[in-house]
Amino acid sequence: MVQKYKRVLVAIDGSKGSDVALAKAIETVKNNEGSSLDVLRVLDLNSLEYGGAGIALDGSEIYRIEQANEEYMFNLKQKLIKENGLSEENVHVHLRFGNPKVVIVHDFQPEYGNDLILVGSTGKNFFERLVIGSVASYVVRNASCDVLMARN
């Protein structure tokens, strides 16, 4: 039995793993007629500090980061539509602030009713996974819908 997905969510963070997940999400949407793609980028302000020195960002710097990421997401949407033959109505890009684990599993997916989440294998090194954990692992364990972990 083949599962038909209506609303596919892919979380991206600029890592190679998230690029693989995005490619698989596009493929999934193309193979499920009438489905839509939500591309989500979550900015964690706790990790956006100058050089890891614990120096907090001011409001103007946060605004600059937000604007740059909004432009990136807009351009990404146009690229996905042009290069993959997806319709504009079926591709949605989203930018959120917060802890990626919480935003993906507890905020975004329930709000948009995604029935599949694609995540890339971790973009963190071994030490980072030990200390703060992998977003992908958390999503796999806690999501209320199907999850596909895309590997390089």
Residue 122 has a pLDDT of 61
- List C-alpha distances in Å: 106 to 79, 110, 128: 29, 7, 22
Q: What tokens does 62 get?
A: 């946060």
Q: What dihedral do alpha carbons 123, 125, 130, 136 form, nearest 10°? A: 10
Residue appearing with tokens 């964690």: 44
Q: Which of 11, 41, 4 is nearest to 122 (CA)?
A: 11
Output the pTM of the full model: 0.88
pLDDT means over runs of 10, the chain (152 residues): 87 91 96 95 76 67 93 97 95 96 97 95 58 77 94 76
